Amino acid sequence: MNGLSVVIVGGGSGLGRLLAEMAVEQGATAIGIIDIDEKAALATARAAGLKSAYAGCDIRTSAPAHEAFSRVAAELGHIDTLVNSAAIYPRKPMLEITDAEWDASLSVNVKGTYHMCVAAIEQFRAQKSDAVVKGRIVNITSVDAFKAHPQNAHYAAKAAVVSLTRSFAQEVARDNILVNSVAPAGMATEKARQAGFLAELAAASPLGRGGEPREMAEWVLMAGGPKNTYMTGENIIVSGGYIYA
């Protein structure tokens, strides 16, 4: 991420916060954090130890999402990469999912991603830049977009994010904006450890373990970093062989 200014949506905690930390480790010069938890966004931004900005925002509706992105962009002055990491992970038997639960998953996982992509594209188009690539977007999807999971069928909203990624990539290719996604499998997070999921993750993977969050984050930063000058419209599956697509 050497020399890049990066905005991470959902960067207040979890994978999003790790992405911010790793972007700094890899040479990012500015970090913007957008999260529904404003205190968490501020904490991540301050921890970056370099030029940073933050905004608390519910990304489910257009106006707040665009206002938050514009505010962060104005403070940083220039944006090179957007990472959409904000999501909710609902679990409920397929035949019991309510309308409200469908709406929640679609609003955060799909509409929120859409709004932030549009805001970033408007920013990229408005910026003056001599770089070959005018901007990069990386959306976090999931292997659940490709494999049946009746216990969280409404999380298959991530399949819509794969489709959105491809459509955005085609729409802005002439602007030299690259749009890709990364689909992690189950990660060996602290929450997974506490919930007793590690054995389940290990059994599901041919490698015999769940992926470490850093292993997933590396691919996100690769797709959103300066070494990516040609890949667009791709979904990178990082699953330890759990799924092939």
Q: Which residues are catalytic?
A: 155
Closest CA to 164 of 144, 184, 149, 179: 179
DSSP string spanning 119-138? Answer: HHHHHHHHS---SSS-EEEE
Tokens 């930063």 correspond to 221
| DSSP code for 154 | G
Beta bridge partners of 56: 35
Closest CA to 137 of 203, 75, 192, 69: 69
- Strand-by-strand arrangement of the 30-35 sheet: 51-56, 30-35, 5-9, 81-84, 135-140, 177-184, 235-238
Beta bridge partners of 178: 136
Q: Phi, psi (5° rounding) for residue 140?
A: -85, 120
Identity of residue 221: L
CA distance 80 to 208: 37
CA distance 197 to 187: 9
